[in-house]
Structure 1
Amino acid sequence: MYQKEVFKELMYQFVSGEISLEGKAQLLKMIDDPQYEDDLDFILRENYERIGPVKANPESTQQFIQSLTKKINTINDQVAEEADSTLFNWKKLVVAASIVLVMGLGYVAFNRNKVSTAIANIDKNVIMPGRSGAILTLGDGSQIVLDSVANGVLANQSNTAVAKKDGEIIYTEGSNARGVINKMMTPRGRQFKLELSDGTKVWLNASSSISFPTAFAANERKVSIVGEVYFEVAKDKHRPFKVTVNDVEVQVLGTHFNVNGYDDEGEIKTSLIEGSILVGKKDQKVLLKPGQQANIKKSGGVKVKALDNFDEVLAWKNGMFHFDNASLETVLRQISRWYDVDVVMDKGVVSRNFEGEINRDLELSQVLKILEGNNVHFKIEGKILKVMP
């Protein structure tokens, strides 16, 4: 692994709370090296709100503390002259100091007025887009934070190997494997890819989860989901593949389809891209053909409609927001999940519809500027997104 990748890995382990004592020591040696400055800048921006001090051992960090203090004391009056570019450098130093706190300082006092002034003026409205990450719960209840773990075998679940490779989790079934239920969950602001032991590929959108056996039974393959998940099911005519979301079941042999079953949506939408599926509740099921979508209201009833294209359905998987006459409420729910913000709508805001595409890798403020072209206004306060008329 390249050294920059090692540095990023250690930083994400630190932020997620998974870093080892050895990792802390290695990170302290690397964090002040100029070659890692861009990566440090990005990760601190992305995780600024999550970093905070805890008790630890001060001895292991004394050398880094001295280096950091020297750097702070030698910064000159360019702060005032280069506010836009320098404020985050001050922020970076302060957050770096909080890393020291977490890794072993205990207490650091900053007496320079410029630091206090810079901190007071930091733009706290920078909210970065979501990224790859998830939490995997194994059969024994132990959890692995997948945001930052390195490639390699992570666990063995009753003769089924669980490994991370190139940003996804892959289950490989061994001889005499026994099915144990695992669960993958993506918080808001995260998405992840998974390959089940039968070869089925699964993509989880933000704020979603899937529960599945590490090895499938001889007569069927069954998983349950929450939120939005895209499947490319491995063909196996002897073992139908079944997906349950609430009381709705999707049954397939081998196909590509997307299920949107978020709890805060009014209906469960199942869109078929390839193959055929049987979808519905026990008393009412329909057979879908490619290009069709089944809309199942939670109160009951199944409605099938034809899709002109799959741009809106698969936009999240392809790194986009795609709005096709989407209501303001629909747009805001997607933003809330991807940017991990809570939405508060003022009285007097009139719902309107949105058309077009926006990249999901933009900062939240950039997305909001685009949406404000439709006569709606936004204000970010910490993790609260206020919507105003």
Structure 2
Amino acid sequence: MEQRFLEYSTEQLLEEKDFIAWILNNKNDREWKVFLEQHPEFRNKVKEAREIIHLLADTHDELGEDALLSMWRDIDRHHQSRKKKSQKRELWSRLSWAASVLLVVSIGLGGYFYLIKKDAVYHFSSSLGSENPNGHMVLSSGEEIPLEQKHSAIRVNDTEKQVIVNDSIINLVELKRDQKKKTEMNEVVIPYGKSSELLLADGTKVWLNAGSRLAFPSSFSKDVREVYLEGEACFKVTRNEQRPFIVKTGDLDVRVLGTHFNVSAYPADKTIETVLLEGSVAVSQTKLLGLAKKEMVLTPDQKASFKKEQNTITVTSETNVDNYISWTYGWLKYSRESLSSVLHKVERYYNVKFQMPDNYPGDDKISGKLDLEKSLEDVMIVLGDASGFTYRISGSVVTIEKKIKPLSRK
């Protein structure tokens, strides 16, 4: 443990990530306890900082006026309690400072806890923009490899220190020697209308859907296997009880040892969905420093839905979990799903944009399946027949023109 902490004020401890990680999740607990035994004079400062952290951590998710008022009342009660015990510390000013931190959070939507939390969110170096219509992979060395095929295949060989992209072999050892390393992670960027299949260094298989990005290391650490996802992916994780596999989406963490599951976490969607087919997974909201709270464990045939606006997770049973991974086999299956939802998925698969009249009944429930290897025209014929609408295709824009009225029976 670093000796510099002995010179820290309470305020400085509250800004120290390692300290917060210990308080909230017992990270490096043994080292901290040894440190306190060696420096008992440090205990009072730790106690004060711990009280503030727990107070803030319990309330920082609700940043409205009512929460702020409650926060100030908690601080005042704490202050009065300390005064009654005649302890002559300046805890009140420190607690006031902590409350001002919370005020910054509520006003700025950035603030203290956001700044801490954002370290747990991966920032992709490459976008899904139109400048890369064929998709690409960015190696940890910084080299960019185009993915020109509609369905690309990527395999990471940690033993040989190679990445095999379709039929091309990239030697990672040579790249690290010849180029300055820009990031520790490799990135795969798959635009709309494309898909990819990856085999990671530990043997985990990943199917990456259209309009998605995945960041992963060439070799995992000894303690944990972490990847970062934006979009949709299906994972078949190689079991390793000593090294849990964690899919991080920014808002949600999915933690597993070895299982088969699907995660849909598109930034534009209001909900992040995790569907479990085999094994078990633990789903939790990403908190400070990526530390998790409110963990929920799924069993097969269950779906966890995280609603971003409400900041809530619900778990439901699903009778057709295979529908959620049908895209990995080239099919889009749907059962009692809204037309708008199905069209939204077709947009991603075919890289098109749907236009519908304002009063069109997009909530109509439909069931069926689409062959994603077929042309857009073929898919629209099936959807038009099933939903009873007419359409017009113009380039990358599909216009839903009108609902066909059923013939009246005499």
Q: TM-score, normalised by structure 1?
A: 0.59
| Partner residue, 1:353 | 365
* Matching residue within 279, 286, 290 for 2:283: 279
Q: What is the letter of the counterpart of residue 361 of structure 2?
A: V
| Partner residue, 2:320 | 309
| Partner residue, 2:381 | 369
Is the 1:157–1:180 Cα contact (8 Å) retained in structure 2?
Answer: no
Is the 1:173–1:214 Cα contact (8 Å) retained in structure 2?
Answer: no
| 1:9-47 CA distance string (max 9 Å, x none) | xxxxxxxxxxxxxxxxxxxxxxxxxxxxxxxxxxxxxxx
Is 1:161 aligned to residue 162 of structure 2? yes
| Partner residue, 1:330 | 341
Is the 1:162–1:171 Cα contact (8 Å) retained in structure 2?
Answer: yes
Q: What is the letter of the counterpart of residue 373 of structure 2?
A: D
* Matching residue within 378, 381, 385 for 2:391: 378
* Matching residue within 224, 229, 247 for 1:243: 247
How far did residue 195 of structure 1 move? Answer: 0.8
Residues 204 and 171 (structure 1), Cα distance of their counterparts in 2 relative to 1, 3 Å cut: farther
3-state DSSP class of the match of 2:329?
coil
3-state DSSP class of the match of 1:315?
helix
3-state DSSP class of the match of 1:317?
helix
| Partner residue, 1:142 | 143
Residues 314 and 173 (structure 1), Cα distance of their counterparts in 2 relative to 1, 3 Å cut: farther
3-state DSSP class of the match of 1:237?
coil
CA distance in 1, matches of 2:166, 2:360: 46
Q: What is the letter of the counterpart of residue 389 of structure 2?
A: V
Is the 1:191–1:205 Cα contact (8 Å) retained in structure 2?
Answer: yes
Is the 2:234–2:263 Cα contact (8 Å) retained in structure 1?
Answer: yes
Q: What is the letter of the counterpart of residue 252 of structure 1?
A: V
CA distance in 2, matches of 1:227, 1:309: 21
CA distance in 1, matches of 2:369, 2:391: 19
Residues 210 and 355 (structure 1), Cα distance of their counterparts in 2 relative to 1, 3 Å cut: same
Residues 362 and 250 (structure 1), Cα distance of their counterparts in 2 relative to 1, 3 Å cut: same
How far did residue 172 of structure 1 move? Answer: 9.5
Q: What is the number of equivalent residue pairs in this alignment?
A: 254
CA distance in 1, matches of 2:223, 2:342: 41
Is 1:318 aligned to residue 319 of structure 2? no
How far did residue 154 of structure 1 move? Answer: 10
CA distance in 1, matches of 2:242, 2:226: 13
How far did residue 158 of structure 1 move? Answer: 11
Give the greater-gyration-radius structure (CA): 2
CA distance in 1, matches of 2:169, 2:275: 24
Q: What is the letter of the counterpart of residue 290 of structure 1?
A: P
CA distance in 1, matches of 2:147, 2:271: 30
| Partner residue, 1:194 | 198
Runs (4+) off by over 4 Å: 151-159, 168-174
Q: What is the letter of the counterpart of residue 139 of structure 2?
A: L
Tell me: higher relative CO, structure 1 or 2? Use CA pairs within 8 A at least 6 residues apart: 1
How far did residue 222 of structure 1 move? Answer: 0.4
3-state DSSP class of the match of 2:358?
coil
How far did residue 268 of structure 1 move? Answer: 0.8
| Partner residue, 1:255 | 259
Note the 1:1-389 alignment, pairs <5 A.
134-148=135-149, 160-164=161-165, 180-281=184-285, 282-299=292-309, 300-351=311-362, 352-373=364-385, 374-389=387-402
| 1:81-126 CA distance string (max 9 Å, x none) | xxxxxxxxxxxxxxxxxxxxxxxxxxxxxxxxxxxxxxxxxxxxxx
CA distance in 1, matches of 2:303, 2:235: 15
Is the 2:245–2:256 Cα contact (8 Å) retained in structure 1?
Answer: yes
3-state DSSP class of the match of 1:329?
helix
CA distance in 1, matches of 2:321, 2:155: 35
Residues 197 and 169 (structure 1), Cα distance of their counterparts in 2 relative to 1, 3 Å cut: farther
CA distance in 2, matches of 1:152, 1:338: 17
Q: Percent identity?
A: 32
3-state DSSP class of the match of 2:327?
coil
CA distance in 1, matches of 2:160, 2:266: 33
| 1:194-222 CA distance string (max 9 Å, x none) | 01111111100111111011111111110
Is the 1:266–1:298 Cα contact (8 Å) retained in structure 2?
Answer: yes
Q: What is the letter of the counterpart of residue 288 of structure 1?
A: L
Residues 233 and 286 (structure 1), Cα distance of their counterparts in 2 relative to 1, 3 Å cut: same
RMSD (Å), alpha carbons: 3.3
| Partner residue, 1:10 | none
Residues 181 and 157 (structure 1), Cα distance of their counterparts in 2 relative to 1, 3 Å cut: farther
Q: What is the letter of the counterpart of residue 256 of structure 2?
A: V
Q: What is the letter of the counterpart of residue 320 of structure 1?
A: W
CA distance in 1, matches of 2:278, 2:155: 33
3-state DSSP class of the match of 2:370?
strand
CA distance in 2, matches of 1:142, 1:170: 10
- Tell me, which stretches of 5 or more residues in structure 1 are unaligned? 1-132
CA distance in 1, matches of 2:207, 2:369: 21
Is the 2:153–2:197 Cα contact (8 Å) retained in structure 1?
Answer: no
Is the 1:205–1:229 Cα contact (8 Å) retained in structure 2?
Answer: yes
Q: What is the letter of the counterpart of residue 145 of structure 2?
A: I
- Tell me, which stretches of 5 or more residues in structure 2 are unaligned? 1-133, 286-291, 403-410
3-state DSSP class of the match of 1:260?
strand
Is the 1:323–1:356 Cα contact (8 Å) retained in structure 2?
Answer: yes
Is the 1:171–1:196 Cα contact (8 Å) retained in structure 2?
Answer: no
How far did residue 332 of structure 1 move? Answer: 1.3
